[in-house]
């Protein structure tokens, strides 16, 4: 961005800084910029006149990083967070050049299990207020042409119905799970749900993850057998063309496509041996070109081998694993093996590229990602089979995969390492409590390890929104189940592997004391000469 968004000297001298979001007015005259100086995801929103280069005097505090301009290029909609719980719960309207004290409250979410976010439709006709819990969603619409627009519900929320929408050429397009867990695509001109036309039905083994609208084309992003894919569908002829990829383990995604009146699609691609790449595809001709690829000095993709394989868990379920290693240094059964796991919230941990990982691969490490249940890699059922009272599947999948990888010769049994962050840090805690002998060392990044204490305290940021992931421990069956696996509550006197725990002092997702508590408890409990270190700092959430 060069000097365009150069911040004041405070940013250069701050211990922490991140740019959370950026939005430019439709007439290209004003830029809104969200910044975080604390690493707590409580952003400050500032404005710059792009013609004069001057900053406007107002500052909007404690906002989420998503915000949308109305079509008058003077009105901005933004989301405020609750000061105590940090939940994004209010939509406000700001007029550029006025003090924030004059801002208008547009909507306030009363249910503290729901999160509020904003975006704009492809048609530019509507500002979308998206309200979502872990299992239910609702969309409110604002007329983007009106500076004083009032929100109206497109379809009222109902339990376990999730939907999102876009609007283009006088029609609404909806991704909804009303007829199936893995979502279908629907089209309608009106808000009446009975008028929805089904374009793509829900399918048992294919998850519809997203879509992008063009004048002549509809492009869908899907996930099957753990891997993402893109299909382009001609809106006139219904011809379907798949976009091919070569790597055995990879991820592709729909990039930012702001101009629907074109045949050119922009999409991203990455694999464990291919740096992040932005492609532009002419959907009419099939011609494709690289717009941008992350530069990695000295990197030769031909030196590395990636694989996508399946292991059988203890209950007979097939679990996918993605891995990569340097071909020159691979020795069956002798390499150090680093196994990453997450498996929560239906989030997919994709087989993408990491430049920082290369240092390990170049020293002989095999790096593996286990796509355990609780993630979204194999669809909605895969997620549901690793949450609530089925959370043990997440832990078992990970441990069984580690055992299988060692038996298959991808690592030395004496040099197996684990790594995971946040909910994946909880997975690491369970793993070393249950199978400490399996690992030589474990890295737990900002780990969620004191499950019961956090889930019993609704004043802790984000706790109430987590009830639909772990359960509410006020219910005895969830309390007992959480206690059975909560890492802090299951530390015991035994030999533990070497342990590195990192935590963020101001992390809003996982409070820093959790890492300190479990690190100290393990240090006191361990029998052998292993080391346990806890590092406190900023932004310690990176995945290698």
Give the pLDDT mean for 342-360: 97
pLDDT of residue 5: 47
Banded pLDDT at 503 (limits 50, 70, 90) = confident
Give the pLDDT mean for 67-79: 98
Record the tokens describing residue 393, joined without a space.
């599947």
For residues 304 and 312, what is the distance between their CA atoms, to the nearest angstrom?
26
User: Is 263's pLDDT higher than 60?
Assistant: yes
User: Is 4's pLDDT higher than 50?
Assistant: no
3-state secondary structure 217-280: EEEEEEEECCEEEEEEEECCCCCEEECCCCCCCEEEEECCCCCCCCCEEEEEEEECCEEEEEEE
Residue with tokens 């740096």: 275
Give the pLDDT mean for 114-123: 98
pLDDT of residue 1: 41
Q: Count the Cβ atoms, other than its own, within 10 Å of residue 47.
A: 20
Output the average pLDDT for the chain.
93
Domains contained in the chain, CATH given: 1-160 (2.130.10.120), 301-537 (3.40.50.1820)
User: Is 25's pLDDT higher than 90?
Assistant: yes
User: Is 41's pLDDT higher than 80?
Assistant: no
Give the pLDDT mean for 284-306: 97
Banded pLDDT at 182 (limits 50, 70, 90) = very high
| H/E segment holding residue 518 | helix 512-525
- Measured CA to CA in angstroms, residue 54 lies from 5, 27, 38 at distances of 11, 17, 25
* Interval 392-444: pLDDT, tens: 999 999 999 999 999 999 999 999 999 999 999 999 999 999 999 999 999 99
Banded pLDDT at 80 (limits 50, 70, 90) = very high
Question: Apex CA 186: angle with CA 184 and CA 191, to 5°?
Answer: 130
Question: Apex CA 353: angle with CA 118 and CA 505, to 5°?
Answer: 60
Give the pLDDT mean for 329-349: 98
User: Is 519's pLDDT higher than 50?
Assistant: yes
Banded pLDDT at 535 (limits 50, 70, 90) = low
User: Is 7's pLDDT higher than 80?
Assistant: no
% of the chain exceeding 70 in pLDDT: 92
Return the higher-pLDDT residue of 16 and 99. 99
Q: Count the Cβ atoms, other than its own, within 10 Å of residue 480.
A: 11
- Pairing of the two strands 498-504 and 532-537: parallel
Record the tokens describing residue 98, joined without a space.
């006025």
pLDDT of residue 465: 85
pTM: 0.91
pLDDT of residue 541: 47
Banded pLDDT at 84 (limits 50, 70, 90) = confident
Q: What are phi and psi of 464, to 5 degrees?
A: -60, -35
* Interval 452-500: pLDDT, tens: 999 999 888 778 889 999 999 999 999 999 999 999 999 999 999 999 9
pLDDT of residue 531: 64
DSSP state of 542: -
The DSSP string of 46-100 is EEEETTT-PBPS--EEEEEEEEEE-TTSSEEEEEEEPTTT--EEEEEEEETTS-G
Banded pLDDT at 524 (limits 50, 70, 90) = confident
pLDDT of residue 461: 72
Buried b (16+ CB within 10 A) or exposed e, 231-261: ebbeeeeeeeeebebebbbbbbebeebeebe
Chain-centre distance for alpha carbon 178: 23
Give the pLDDT mean for 98-126: 97
């Amino acid at each position: 961005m060069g000097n365009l968004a150069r911040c004041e000297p405070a940013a250069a001298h701050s211990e922490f800084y991140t740019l959370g979001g950026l939005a430019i007015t439709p007439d290209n005259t004003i830029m809104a910029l969200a910044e975080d100086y604390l690493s707590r995801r409580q952003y400050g929103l500032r404005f710059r006149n792009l013609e004069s280069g001057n900053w406007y005097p107002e500052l909007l505090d404690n906002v989420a990083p998503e915000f949308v301009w109305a079509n008058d290029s003077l009105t901005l909609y933004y989301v405020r967070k609750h000061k105590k719980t940090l939940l994004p719960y209010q939509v406000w309207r700001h007029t550029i050049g006025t003090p924030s004290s004059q801002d208008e409250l547009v909507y306030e979410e009363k249910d503290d299990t729901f999160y509020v976010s904003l975006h704009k439709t492809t048609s530019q006709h509507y500002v979308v207020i998206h309200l979502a819990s872990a299992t239910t969603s609702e969309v409110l619409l604002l007329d983007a042409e009106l500076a004083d627009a009032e929100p109206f519900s497109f379809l009222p929320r109902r339990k376990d119905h999730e939907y999102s929408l876009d609007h283009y050429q006088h029609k609404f397009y909806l991704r909804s799970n009303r007829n199936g867990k893995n979502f279908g695509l629907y089209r309608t001109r009106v808000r009446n749900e009975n008028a929805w036309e089904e374009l793509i039905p829900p399918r048992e083994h294919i998850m519809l993850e997203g879509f992008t609208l063009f004048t002549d084309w509809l492009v869908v992003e899907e996930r099957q057998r753990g891997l993402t894919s893109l299909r382009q569908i001609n809106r006139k002829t219904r011809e379907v063309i798949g976009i091919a990829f070569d790597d055995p383990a990879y991820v592709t995604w729909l990039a930012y496509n702001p101009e629907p009146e074109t045949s050119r699609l922009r999409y991203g691609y990455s694999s464990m041996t291919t740096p992040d790449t932005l492609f532009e595809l002419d959907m009419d001709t099939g011609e494709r070109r690289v717009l941008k690829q992350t530069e990695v000095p000295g990197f030769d993709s031909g030196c590395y081998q990636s694989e996508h394989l399946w292991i059988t868990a203890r209950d007979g379920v097939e679990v996918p694993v993605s891995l990569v290693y340097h071909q020159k240094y691979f020795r069956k059964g002798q390499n150090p093996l680093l196994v990453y796991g997450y498996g929560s919230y239906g989030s997919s941990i994709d087989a993408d590229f990491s430049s920082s990982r290369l240092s390990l691969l170049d020293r002989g490490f095999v790096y593996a990602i286990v796509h355990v249940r609780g993630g979204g890699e194999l669809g909605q059922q895969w997620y549901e089979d690793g949450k609530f009272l089925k959370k043990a599947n997440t832990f078992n999948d990970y441990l069984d995969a580690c055992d299988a990888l060692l038996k298959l010769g991808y690592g030395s049994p004496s040099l197996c390492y684990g790594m995971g962050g946040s909910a994946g840090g909880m997975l690491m805690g369970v793993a070393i409590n249950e199978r400490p002998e399996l690992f030589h060392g474990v890295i737990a990044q900002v780990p969620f390890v004191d499950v019961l204490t956090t889930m019993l305290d609704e004043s802790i940021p984000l706790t109430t929104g987590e009830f639909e992931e772990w359960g509410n421990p006020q219910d005895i069956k969830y309390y007992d189940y959480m206690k059975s696996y909560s890492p802090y509550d299951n530390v015991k006197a035994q030999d533990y592997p070497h342990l590195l725990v990192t935590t963020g002092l101001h992390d809003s997702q996982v409070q820093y004391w959790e890492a300190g508590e479990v690190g100290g408890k393990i240090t006191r409990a361990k029998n052998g000469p292993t080391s346990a270190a806890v590092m406190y700092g900023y932004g310690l959430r990176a995945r290698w």
